[in-house]
A = this chain, B = another copy of it.
Amino acid sequence: MIDKFVSSVTEAVADVRDGSTVMIGGFGVGQPVHLIDALIEQGATGLTIVANNAGIGRAGLARLLELRRVRKVVCSFPRTADPVVFDELYKKGEIELELVPQGTLAERIRAGGAGVAGFYTATAYGTKLAEGKETCEFEGRHYVFERALHADVALIEAWQGDRWGNLTYKEAGRNFNPVMATAAKLTIAQVQHKVDLGSLEPNAIATPSIFVNRVVHIPYGDPK
């Protein structure tokens, strides 16, 4: 019997290794906050983080940065309301930033999950973010070549999960989570609701179990 539930976030992230690339879902809502806290406790360092932003305030991802556990951030928007930690590290040259347009970021992750090695997109053509990148013209339009993104670990947040790892998301909590779930060797989901196998409508499962390795049930309520 497949049962991907693990009993704690500590157990869920126990084997994350130094130097790993870790994707972290979320966009305003839908951050796997308990998994991030567990990763902070766990101690892995030299990490590359792939996420939409670079942490807010001094908790969660920002705390991971503050502890100097992150070598590089791949994101679209490291400048949020209160991104103090990233700012400080960036200005001191102590963290690497790969800035990626948000759609290109999502598409590169999706490519990683779907076996596409790289693709041509019109986004960023002629801008600083395309400098040094290969370009190509198709039917009179210019495109930039972008490579797929893969991760060792994806930490995601979902609404419901069953023991096989089928997941649903709640409204805007979906965001990057289902895409990142496809692109990592080890995908770990924290879910608000543990549901029986078979209780999710098969046509409405947003992440099929095939993409999920571990599930932790954390009924944490309001995401803010």
Contacts and interface: CB of A to CB of B under 8 A. Distances in A.
Interface of A: 107, 111, 114-123, 136, 138, 141, 143, 147, 168-171, 174, 201-204, 206
25 contacts: A107-B114, A111-B119, A115-B122, A115-B123, A116-B119, A116-B120, A116-B121, A117-B120, A117-B121, A117-B122, A117-B136, A117-B138, A117-B141, A117-B143, A118-B119, A118-B120, A118-B138, A119-B119, A138-B147, A168-B203, A171-B202, A171-B203, A201-B204, A203-B204, A203-B206
A120 B116 CA distance: 6
Nearest to A110: B114
A138 B111 CA distance: 14
Copies in the complex: 2
